């Protein structure tokens, strides 16, 4: 991997891998670490990082979300960037975290300082001007915009800019900005609607005969992977970090090793 020399480029970063990556997609964490370390940046993953609290916050349990995040504030103290390979968790840490401590000025200031250092993975890679990932993604690639990265963090360009550096053939996914139907607890509370939305998402990828469906959020991946399996679809799902790392590098799905 090559990148432009940058005098303000960090030597170290924190990785907030997210609980879904930790529990369901450890290979995404491996690919993320590979990408960052390939840019000659040290990755620090403090023991004790867990959930961003988004499931609790989305269901109205603000106090519980605060309790989850309070001990993690100490683990993320400092001045180095906090890289999050997930739009939903990135949005939670960047936009919601500072609002969870209205009655505690000290904790509120600490939360605001941390939120200001949070950056989503593709945004970070573009910021440090990585221009060659040393990988090629064969076949046709389509990208699904996760709701929180697109609407919450207002980002739709950096994932595509990164993918264009590796994809042999990238095509826009029809209705790429439509929700996949996961929405955390939404999929549990409204399974029929959620599954109907998921079917439409997968049909859109099948319509353009995609080889790879790339997402930048483990929540979307959890939902979409189930739908692809149920349909016995030939489309293969990748997290953006895996797509950028490429075959034969850490985090690449074993069944698709070149």
Strand partners, 43: 13
- CA dist 44 and 79 (Å) reads 13
Spell out the residues 6+ positions from residue 16 whose beta carbon is closer than 8 angstroms to its own: 49, 52, 76, 82, 83, 84, 89, 93, 118
Please calculate the CA angle 104-76-66 and round it to the nearest 5 degrees.
40
Which is it for the CA torsion 96, 222, 180, 14, positive or negative? positive
Per the structure block, which two tokens stand in for 17? Answer: 């891998």
Backbone Cα Rg of the chain: 18
> If you ran DSSP here, which 8-state letter would residue 99 be given?
G
| Whole-number Å distance between alpha carbons of 234 and 210 | 9
Distance CA 78, CA 93 (A): 15
Query: What is the C-alpha separation between 162 and 241, in angstroms, rounded?
Result: 10
Which domains can be identified in the chain, with CATH numbers?
2-124 (3.40.50), 135-256 (3.40.50)
SS3 215: strand
Q: What is the rounded distance in angstroms from the CA atom of residue 104 to the CA atom of residue 115? A: 16
C-beta separation of 204 from 174 below 8 A: yes
pLDDT at 191: 87
pLDDT of residue 126: 97
Show the tokens assigned to 180. 């996949």
Mean pLDDT by 10 residues, the chain (258 residues): 64 96 95 97 96 93 96 96 97 97 94 98 97 95 96 97 98 95 82 93 96 96 94 96 94 74
CA distance 130 to 150: 22
């Amino acid at each position: 991997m090559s990148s432009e020399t940058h005098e303000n480029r960090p030597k170290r970063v924190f990785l907030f891998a997210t609980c879904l990556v930790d529990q369901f997609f450890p290979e995404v964490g491996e690919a993320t670490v590979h990408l960052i370390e390939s840019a000659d940046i040290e990755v620090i993953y403090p023991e004790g990082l867990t959930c961003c609290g988004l499931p609790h916050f989305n269901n109205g349990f603000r106090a519980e979300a605060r309790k989850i995040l309070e001990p993690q504030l100490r683990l993320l103290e400092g001045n180095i960037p906090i890289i999050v390979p997930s739009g939903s968790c990135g949005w939670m840490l960047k936009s919601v975290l500072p609002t969870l401590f209205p009655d505690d000025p000290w904790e509120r200031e600490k939360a605001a300082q941390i939120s200001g250092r949070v950056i989503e993975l593709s945004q970070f890679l573009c910021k440090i001007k990585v221009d060659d990932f040393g990988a090629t993604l064969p076949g046709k690639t389509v990208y699904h915009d996760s709701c929180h990265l697109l609407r919450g963090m207002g980002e739709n360009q950096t994932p595509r800019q990164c993918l264009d550096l590796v994809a042999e053939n990238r095509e826009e996914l029809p209705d790429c900005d439509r929700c996949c139907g996961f929405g955390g607890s939404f999929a549990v509370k409204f399974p029929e609607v959620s599954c109907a939305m998921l079917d439409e998402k997968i049909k859109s990828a099948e319509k353009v005969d995609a080889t790879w469906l790339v997402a930048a959020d483990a929540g979307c991946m959890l939902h979409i992977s189930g739908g692809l399996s149920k349909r016995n679809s030939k489309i293969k799902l990748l997290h953006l970090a895996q797509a950028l790392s490429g075959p034969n590098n850490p985090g690449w799905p074993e069944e698709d090793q070149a």
